[in-house]
Amino acid sequence: MQVDSADARPDPPEECGSCGQEGVELHRTSSYGPGHQVTWHCDFCFNFMDPGSALSHNLAKMGHMLLKAIRDRG
C-alpha cells in the first residue's frame, strides 16, 4: 500500500498482504522510493518467500493449513 509517510499505517490489518491469511501475527515491511510502500506479511511470506510470487502465496497458504492441523490435532 502506498502511503504519505514512513510512519503511516502503524496498525496491522486483518490479513497478510501477500497470501491473505487471517488471524496470524504480521510483520511490517517498508520501502522508500518515490512514495512510501508499507506492507504487512505473515511469518511465511516475511521470512521465506518472494511475496510477489503466486507460488509463494500457495506455499504460504499450505503452511498455514498445516500449522492449523497440527494445533487442532494437538
Residue 24's φ and ψ, nearest 5 degrees, are -120, 165
Q: Could you identify the residue written with the cell 510470487?
A: 53
- What are the residues whose beta carbons fall under 8 Å from the beta carbon of 8, sequence distance 6 or more? 36, 38
pLDDT on residue 70? 92
pLDDT on residue 51? 58
pLDDT tens for the chain, residues 1 to 74: 566 666 666 788 899 888 888 888 998 887 776 777 788 888 888 877 665 677 777 788 888 889 889 989 97
Strand order in the sheet with 2-3: 2-3, 35-41, 27-33
Tell me which residue range forms the domain holding 46: 2-73
Residue 64's φ and ψ, nearest 5 degrees, are -65, -40
Tally of structural domains, the chain: 1
